[in-house]
Amino acid sequence: MQESWVAYGPLLVTALALTLGSLAVGIAYRVLHRVGRGAPRVALVAKRTHKPAQVLIAILVARFAVLATTDTGDWRDPLLKAMLVGAIAATGWLVTSLLLIAFESARTRYGLASTEYYSELHTRRVHTQLVVLRRITVAGVAVLTLGAVLYTFDSVRGIGTSVLASAGVIGVVAGLAAQSTLGNLIAGMQLAFGDRLRIGDVVVVEGEWGTVDELTLGYVVIRIWDQRRLILPTSYFTTTPFTHWTRHDAKILGTVELDVDWTVPVPQMRAELERYAAEHPLWDGRAVTLQVTQATGALVQVRALVSAANGSVAWDLRCDVREHLIEWVRTNYPHALPRTRAEVSGINATGAGAVPAQPERSPDDAGAARP
pLDDT tens-digit map of 192-210: 777 778 888 888 888 888 8
Adjacent-strand bridge partners of 348: 355
**Cβ(18)–Cβ(62) below 8 Å:** yes
**Cβ(318)–Cβ(306) below 8 Å:** yes
Phi/psi at 286 (5° precision): -85, -45
- Rg over alpha carbons for the chain, rounded to the nearest Å, is 39
Adjacent-strand bridge partners of 203: 210, 244
Q: What is the band of 365 on the pLDDT scale with cuts at 50, 70, 90?
A: very low
Helix, strand, coil % over all residues of the chain, rounded to 5: 60, 15, 25
Instruction: State how far the Cα of 229 lies from the Cα of 348, in Å rounded to an integer.
Output: 66
Supply angle C-alpha 270, 271, 277, rounded to 5.
90
**Cβ(302)–Cβ(269) below 8 Å:** yes
Phi/psi at 298 (5° precision): -90, -10
Q: What is the band of 115 on the pLDDT scale with cuts at 50, 70, 90?
A: very low
Whole-number pLDDT of residue 245: 77
- The helix or strand, by DSSP H or E, that contains position 290, with its residue range, turns out to be strand 288-294
Which pairs with CB-CB distance under 8 Å and at least 24 residues apart come from 145-153? Answer: 145/88, 145/89, 145/91, 145/92, 148/88, 148/92, 149/85, 149/88, 149/89, 152/81, 152/84, 152/85, 152/88
Least confident stretch, 114-128, 175-189, 311-325, 355-369: 355-369
Whole-number pLDDT of residue 303: 94
- Helices 154-165, 167-177: crossing angle, 10 deg rounding: 80
Q: What is the pLDDT of residues 228-277, one digit of tens each?
A: 889 888 888 888 888 887 777 677 888 899 999 999 999 999 999 999 99
CATH architecture of 184-244: Roll (2.30)
Burial track 199-210 (b if 16+ CB lie within 10 A, e otherwise): bbbbbebeeebb
Q: What is the band of 156 on the pLDDT scale with cuts at 50, 70, 90?
A: low
**Burial (CB count <10 Å: 0-12, 13-18, 19+), residue 247:** middle
**Most confident residue range from 70-84, 286-300, 317-331:** 317-331
- Polymer length in residues for the chain: 371
Instruction: State how far the Cα of 216 lies from the Cα of 194, in Å rounded to an integer.
Output: 14
3 state DSSP class of 240: coil
Instruction: State how far the Cα of 68 lies from the Cα of 142, in Å rounded to an integer.
Output: 31
The CATH number corresponding to 252-336 among 3.30.70.100, 3.90.1150.10, 3.40.50.300, 1.20.210.10 equals 3.30.70.100
**Cβ(258)–Cβ(304) below 8 Å:** yes
- The helix or strand, by DSSP H or E, that contains position 243, with its residue range, turns out to be strand 243-244
Q: What percent of the chain has pLDDT over 90?
A: 14
Angstrom CA distances, 89 to 98, 151, 166, 216, 341, stand at: 14, 13, 29, 26, 83
Instruction: State how far the Cα of 300 lies from the Cα of 257, in Å rounded to an integer.
Output: 10
